[in-house]
Amino acid sequence: MTAAPSDDAAILEFDDVRLSFAGVKAIDGVSFHVGARELFAIIGPNGAGKTSIFNVLSGVYRPRRGRVRFDGRDLIGMRPHRIAALGLARTFQNIELFANLTVLDNLMLGRHTHIRYGALSAFAWLGRARNAELAHRAVVEDIVDFLELEQWREHPVRLLPYGIQKRVELGRALAADPKLLLLDEPVAGMNLEETEDMARFILDIRDELDLPMIMVEHDMGIVMDLADRIMAMDFGRAIATGAPAEVQNHPDVIRAYLGEEEAAS
């Protein structure tokens, strides 16, 4: 395994992971690593296994074999909420917000693992719980400012436009102060303006927060612009990993995408 350019220790090592569903090999022996300050992109046609990798990382799926090390800990077999507490946050391909709650409550839920008081303090709402709520609310308000969500703060998220919901979901993940951020198709279904906004936020996150990220995305423009390295997948396998220009021109990658277009036409 070669080290990522200019990066020291890897925050994530994904090693020979295999996952299948009733005969479908969703992930078929994939290995990669993500550097401590890297924006790593995963591309590939529909059904290639990209989202499955995220689900393995966040503990939703348990792979048949392989090893996943995140920040020095083995993730496989760990429950999702434990993994979240270690500092892994994500967004979902199909928005998974808490639809009836307001933007603020969704973001506060993003901070859940940092808010430390017990059920008895919650009942009493004296000092401890109240102070914690106020302090974390201040952090959440910073995220509201950062993502320009001021006007939507008190709205239930189900009433918000799609592009804004995507942004709230990004905010919920950021609220966790993660050590690694996973973005599953952050600009899918967005119009040009919304896409540009989102790309700007992702750049800002990288520059201001210095946060390593894995981004799954079909929009090649965004991927080429933002990613440090790219892994291309097809049928559960990694077919090329490397710098954007290399991967884009890799013959197997071109074949995978052309094959998909031929199949579609």
Ligand X SMILES: Nc1ncnc2c1ncn2[C@@H]1O[C@H](COP(=O)(O)OP(=O)(O)OP(=O)(O)O)[C@@H](O)[C@H]1O
**Contacting residues toward Mg ion, per CB under 5 A:** 51, 93
Q: Which residue has the tokens 């925050």?
A: 11
Residue 101's binding partner among ligand X, other proteins, Mg ion, none (Cβ under 5 to 8 angstroms by kind) is other proteins
Beta-strand relationship, 88-90 and 73-74 = unpaired
Name the residue nearer to Mg ion (CB basis): 147 or 183.
183
Binding pattern for the stretch 101-140 against ligand X, x by CB under 6 A and - elsewhere: ----------------------------------------
238 near other proteins, rule: CB under 8 A = no
Selected binder of ligand X within 51, 58, 113, 165 (CB under 6 A):
51
User: CB of residue 208 vs ligand X: minimum separation in angstroms?
Assistant: 29
The answer to whether the CB of 15 falls within 8 A of the CB of 67 is yes
Q: Are 109 and 101 in contact (CB under 8 A)?
A: yes
Question: Is residue 9 near ligand X by the rule CB under 6 A?
Answer: no
Q: Which amino acid is at 232?
A: A
**By CB under 6 A, which span of 45-53, 67-75, 99-107, 110-118 interacts with ligand X?**
45-53
For residues 215 and 226, which CB has a smaller minimum distance to other proteins in the complex? 215
Binning the chain into helix, strand and coil, the percentages to the nearest 5 are 45, 25, 30
Phi/psi for 155 (5° steps) reads -85, 140
- Grouping H, G, I as helix, E, B as strand and the rest as coil, residue 235 is coil
209 sits near other proteins (criterion: CB under 8 A): no
Among 1, 3, 9, 24, binds ligand X (CB under 6 A): 24
Dihedral Cα 50, 52, 56, 59, nearest 10 deg: 120
Residue 5, classed as helix, strand or coil, is coil
Side-chain-facing half-sphere of 243: CA atoms under 13 Å: 4
Task: Give the integer Cα–Cα distance in Å for 146 and 144.
Answer: 6
Min dist CB 107 to Mg ion, Å, is 24
Q: In this complex, which beta carbon is closest to other proteins, that of residue 60 or of residue 203?
A: 60
Q: Applying CB under 6 A, does 58 fall inside the site for ligand X?
A: no
Quick one: CA dihedral 43, 49, 55, 56, positive or negative?
negative
Q: Is 94 in the site for other proteins (CB under 8 A)?
A: no
Among 42-50, 137-145, 171-179, 243-251, the segment contacting ligand X (CB under 6 A): 42-50
Distance from C-alpha of 125 to C-alpha of 119, rounded to nearest angstrom: 10
Residues β-bridged to residue 24:
21
Least distance between ligand X and beta carbon 97 (Å):
18
Cα–Cα distance measured from residue 163 to residue 60, given in angstroms and rounded to the nearest whole number: 25
Q: How far is the CB of 102 from other proteins (least distance, A)?
A: 10
Site residues (vs other proteins, CB under 8 A): 58-60, 79-81, 84-85, 89-90, 92, 96-101, 105, 108-110, 112-113, 115, 117, 119, 121-125, 129-130, 132-135, 137-139, 141, 172-173, 176
